[in-house]
């Protein structure tokens, strides 16, 4: 998208530039919606080109859960706009000011994003999951806090946790889970349709990964309906679920 903001004739593509600005605003809203909120007091966010750097004090009460939840919201709202993200979250020290960003945590997060995430997913190191139990919400047992964090995540086949923005965990975060989920899945479907015939090997890898995640959740919905465990709000939704699986 960034590359396409300048046309072949060198002219600015103002409509796309505005779209990217709006995407940044959406991300900013969900990552750090209210600077006066105590939850966001230690959160720093820097945007540059097509990248976002987020840092926060993980020792604050339940901060890890709240940051991962805000990132899940961001991923969902980006997907609504046809945008996917890849990233990594690591624990360590970082200098993060308006003028500069550096530190071991930045290097590790970049390494996770660049060499391990690979697919359109934000992966979370085991250290982060374990720390959530240590710096939990008052009144929560360590295992309880970790379970809340894991509800936002999914363990992938390669052993990495990632923030789940395709499955039922994402459905629970929609404004109206029953009615909005088919619409949301259709947005994922449209992204897959758009990149399906790409010649790029890197994009083909991303496509195959997202297609598997998409098909898994659609299959799960179908099975739940057949077993009587789940009934969409009306028949139109069932029709929507039935019409969007992608063939393997």
pLDDT, tens only, 157-182: 999 999 999 988 888 888 888 778 88
Phi, psi of 110 (to 5 degrees): -65, -40
In the listed set 165, 186, 220, which residue is the last one of a domain according to the structure?
A: 165
Tell me, yes or no, whether 65 lies in a domain: yes
- Residues sharing a CB contact under 8 Å with residue 35, sequence separation 6 or more, in sequence order: 41
Q: Are 46 and 53 in contact (CB under 8 A)?
A: yes
Look at residues 165, 188, 211 and tell me which one is the last residue of a structural domain: 165
Whether 143 and 30 map to the same domain: the answer is yes
Residues 113 and 192 in one domain: no
Q: Could you tell me if 48 and 122 lie in one domain?
A: yes
Claim to verify: residue 184 and residue 144 sit in the same structural domain:
no
* 184 and 212 housed in the same domain: yes
Together in a domain, 19 and 84: yes
Reading the block at residue 240, the tokens are 């929507």
Q: What is the DSSP letter of 58?
A: T
CA distance 113 to 147: 24
The reply to whether 170 falls in a domain is no
Indicate if 152 and 55 belong to the same structural domain: yes
Q: Note the pLDDT of residue 127.
A: 87
Residue ending a domain, among 110, 139, 165, is: 165
Averaged pLDDT, groups of 10, the chain, 248 residues long? 90 93 86 67 83 89 91 94 93 91 93 91 91 86 91 93 91 85 88 90 92 88 72 55 57
CA atoms 184, 186, 187, 189: torsion sign: positive
Residues 6 or more apart in contact with residue 98 via CB below 8 angstroms: 46
pLDDT at 36 (0 to 100):
60
Are residues 195 and 116 part of one domain?
no
The 10s digit of each residue's pLDDT in 59-80 is 888 899 999 999 999 999 999 9
Angle of CA points 10, 16, 17, to nearest 5°:
80
Domain that holds residue 83: 3-165
For the entire predicted model, the pTM comes to 0.87
Number of domains in the chain: 2
Same domain, 236 and 120: no
- Please tell me the distance from the alpha carbon of residue 95 to that of residue 107, in angstroms, as a whole number: 12
């Amino acid at each position: 998208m960034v590359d396409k903001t300048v046309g072949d004739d060198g002219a600015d593509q103002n409509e796309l530039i505005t779209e990217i600005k709006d995407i940044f605003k959406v991300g900013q809203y969900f990552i750090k919606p209210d600077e006066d909120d105590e939850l966001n007091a230690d959160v720093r966010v820097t945007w540059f080109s097509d990248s976002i750097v987020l840092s926060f004090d993980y020792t604050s009460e339940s901060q890890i859960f709240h940051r991962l939840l805000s990132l899940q919201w961001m991923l969902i709202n980006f997907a609504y706009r046809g945008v996917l993200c890849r990233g990594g979250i690591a624990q360590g020290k970082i200098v993060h000011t308006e003028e500069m960003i550096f530190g071991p945590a930045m290097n590790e997060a970049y390494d996770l994003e660049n060499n391990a995430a690979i697919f359109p997913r934000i992966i979370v190191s085991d250290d982060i999951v374990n720390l959530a139990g240590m710096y939990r919400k008052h009144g929560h047992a360590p295992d309880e806090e970790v379970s809340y964090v894991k509800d936002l995540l999914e363990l992938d086949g390669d052993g990495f946790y990632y923030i789940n923005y395709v499955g039922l965990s994402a459905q629970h975060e929609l404004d109206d889970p029953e009615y909005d989920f088919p619409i949301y899945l259709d947005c994922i479907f449209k992204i897959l349709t758009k990149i399906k015939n790409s010649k790029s090997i890197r994009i083909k890898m991303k496509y195959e990964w997202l297609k598997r995640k998409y098909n898994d959740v659609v299959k799960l919905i179908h099975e739940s309906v057949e077993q009587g465990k789940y009934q969409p709000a009306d028949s139109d939704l069932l029709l929507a679920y039935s019409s969007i699986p992608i063939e393997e």
